[in-house]
Structure 1
Amino acid sequence: MRRHRSRRHRRTTPRRWYCLALIVAATTFAAACGLQAGSSLPFTMNPGSIQHNDNLTGVTLTVGSKEFTEQVLLGYILAFSLQAAGAEIRDLTSIVGSQSTRAAQLSGQVQLTYEYTGNGWINYLGHEKPLPDPMEQFKAVRDADVAENNIDWVALAPMDNTYALAASKAVVERTGVRTLSQYAELAKTTPAQAKTCVDTEFNVRRDGFPGMAQAYGLDPATVFRSVLQTGIIYNATASGTECLFGEVYTTDGRIKGLDLVLLTDNRSFFPHYNPAVTLSTDLARQHPEIEQIMTPVSQALTNDEVMELNRRIDVDGEDIAAVARDWLVNKGFVAAG
């Protein structure tokens, strides 16, 4: 699903130079990859509970996303919903990396994306400490992004694709570990029974393993860890050999597909990554119907719903656009063209 978690690269440059770098990156990326054009959507959607809106007739909107499964899925859900309402949609899903996607939006090449609140707060706005309440985190990132970048956040979804540790059912039953506090205690007392697999980024990030270890009173240097590619970690954790515990993302379909058990973050360390639709403040003022259309769609995007959609794509091998279309049709939001 994700070869790397590009959406979680933490900003380290001063903010004004960071913004300049994003603009330059947008220009360079567009020139190299043809971002200006986009493409038409693979399917045509007709109105369902999303009714045709005269204010969107003839309006061309470019929808973007990052390149990993869930982001492309959310991009198509956004694009098909607005197409059913009457907008002409240009498809710029699958842009490589958070920074390129953000740069494309700041430059106006992408007008709408689904973005994660924790990513916006930490990565784009440069804050070190996330807010523990999901709604307060949403309000904070929205208000700050409007003030600093004229980017509005609307239609928050309840799904929360954050970091977690997971284990197989056999490991959970053998060790009795179901929470991160219990994991930390096991790592202290019996390190060999807490062998853990993480990817490169999670291994060093402040909101990754080192920060988690500190929050749970654990010295990260004492934990037996293997650094693997993200995709390998899921299968290795399910086998329970090299990885007794593994880093995962909480809406990944492979959790269900491989019957993994998520450890409870009982001290609420990990940031919230709830997706919301992001768009310029000008576009939000010109077309308030976008928020009205997308709010009920976003509200239907729960962890269980999105995990199952991700599973169909990453485990069963179904087409991302078709999965997005079928979900919208089954929910009654749209009718297939």
Structure 2
Amino acid sequence: MRRRLLAAALAPVLALTGCGLKPASAFIPHIEPAGIRPIPDLKDATIRVTSKEFTEQIILGKIAVLALTAAGANAVDHTNVQGSVTARKSITSGDNDLAWEYTGTGWITYLGQENPIPDPQKQFEAVRDLDMKRNHIAWLAPPAPLNNTYAMAVTTANQKRFGLTDLSDMVKVPAGQRTFCVDPEFFARNDGLRGMLKAYGLSYGSSVPATNVRQMSSGVVYNATSSGKCTFGEVFTTDGRIQALHLHVLGDSKHFFPNYNPAITVRDSVLRAHPELTGLFAKISPRLTTTVMRNLNSKVDVNGDDPVLVARDWMREQGLVK
């Protein structure tokens, strides 16, 4: 999906390591089967797993590697590839076999569709059907319920002061205090700041003066919002810094932002050879909620833990491995 880099301007007390900045090794810790049992038809099958380079993707990639290992496959760890397009091409070209991908990214970035579908299940079905038709890439059901999309966050103080729970409440804030911290990409893209304002009855340049919008790197936005430099800050809904900085994510009642639910994508030829993959990952996907993923991301980005150990410990907690 979108690349996220943490900036040095974040509060040092958080000891952040950075989304995707901490190298992810191919080390696979020892595990034993538990809820995930060995699958005879996967025994010794070589399946190459890739991921993008930011924290969430690395954790998800490690979960896939560990799941395949517990099931008896020879999982090859090719996670931590720079950029969505590079990771995707490694799947379509046959250099890798399997990766978690986001429905919004598949629909908009890879399949070139301009209008996202508000209903998450219908969005999944649409991207699944079109990607199979065009590229012979299978999307395994069910997608995870976590939604790593754009959002606006506010401090507890501002939430209480202005009565903010949803983006529709932005109009409650006096124009002079209706300030936004955003990164340049969010400022420029169609599904970014101006589109969001329009959807909720505001207009950039009038009800939101240009001077009220401050552009900065994505990592700086979180700290700037937390410290009160802006009333509203652009965030990603599963980012661990939300809870670390005690920010509150506003609802999106008009469903303006696209759905970014992750699901396992795999080349059709690999799935036909190993149809057991669907059942294997169906044990995992439903457990990955936005809150769960935010907690896992926080363990890496705030606490500095190793992504593969975070993935292993979560799978142990879930009874999937031991």
TM-score by length of 1: 0.85
Counterparts of 1:71 and 1:40, CA distance in 2: 14
1:149–1:291 CA distance, 2 compared to 1 (3 A): same
Equivalent of 1:229 in 217, 222, 226: 217
SS at match of 1:309: helix
For 1:52, the aligned partner's letter is P
CA distance in 2, matches of 1:237, 1:77: 32
Per-residue deviation, 1:40: 4.5
TM-score (norm 2): 0.89
- Whole-Å separation in 2 of the counterparts to 1:260 and 1:160: 17
The 3-state SS of whatever aligns with 1:45 is: coil
RMSD between superposed Cα atoms in Å: 1.6
Counterpart-to-counterpart distance in 1, 2:204 and 2:140 = 38
Task: Select the structure that is richer in helix.
Answer: 1
How many percent identity over aligned positions?
Answer: 45
The alignment status of 1:74 with 2:74, answered yes or no, reads no
Does 1 or 2 have the higher relative contact order (CA < 8 Å, sep 6+)? 2
1:44/1:80 contact within 8 Å kept:
no
Whole-angstrom CA distance in 1 between matches of 2:111 and 2:227: 39
CA distance, structure 2, for counterparts of residue 184 and residue 313 of structure 1: 36
* CA offset digits 1:269-312 (Å, max 9, x no partner): 11111000000111111111111001111111011111111111
Indicate yes or no: 2:196 matched with 1:209.
no
Structure 1 CA distance, aligned partners of 2:306 and 2:279? 28
In the alignment, which of 316, 332, 337 is matched to residue 303 of structure 2? 316
Of the three residues 188, 198, 203, the one matched with 1:219 is 203
1:115-140 Cα distance to aligned partner (Å, 9 max, x none): 00011001111111111110000000
How far 1:185 sits from its partner (Å)?
5.0
1:257-276 counterparts in 2 under 5 A? 257-276=244-263
By how many angstroms is 1:39 displaced?
A: 7.6
User: Can you list the C-alpha shifts for 1:234-290, whole angstroms capped at 9, x where unaligned?
Assistant: 1111111x2221000111111111110111111111111100000011111111111
The equivalent of 1:49 in structure 2 is 35
* Alignment pair present for 1:112 and 2:94: no
**Does residue 173 of structure 1 match 2:175?**
no
1:83 maps to what in 2? 69
Matched, 1:138 2:124: yes
Q: Which amino acid aligns with 2:191?
A: D
SS at match of 1:334: coil
- Displacement after TM superposition at 1:182 (Å): 1.6
2:248 partner SS: strand
Runs of 4+ aligned structure 1 residues displaced above 6 Å come to none
Look up the SS of the partner of 1:119 in the other structure: helix
Contact 1:166 1:245 in 2 (8 A): yes
The 1-side partners of 2:204 and 2:51 are apart by 34
Post-superposition offset of 1:181: 1.4
Q: For 1:63 and 1:221, how far apart are their aligned partners in 2?
A: 46
Please state if 1:124 is matched with 2:110: yes
Superposed displacement of residue 221, structure 1: 2.7
Q: CA deviation at 1:191?
A: 2.5
Confirm or deny that 1:95 pairs with 2:81. yes
Letter in 2 for 1:250: T
Q: Is the 8 A contact 2:162 2:172 kept in 1?
A: no
Equivalent position SS for 1:75: helix
Structure 1 residues not aligned, in runs of 5+: 5-37
Contact 2:50–2:79 at 8 Å: present in 1 too?
Answer: yes
Letter in 1 for 2:139: W
Q: Which residue of 1 aligns with 2:145?
A: 158
Q: Distance in 2 between matches of 1:116 and 1:70?
A: 11
User: Unaligned stretches of 5+ in structure 2?
Assistant: 7-23
Indicate conservation of the 8 Å contact 1:198/1:225, yes or no: yes
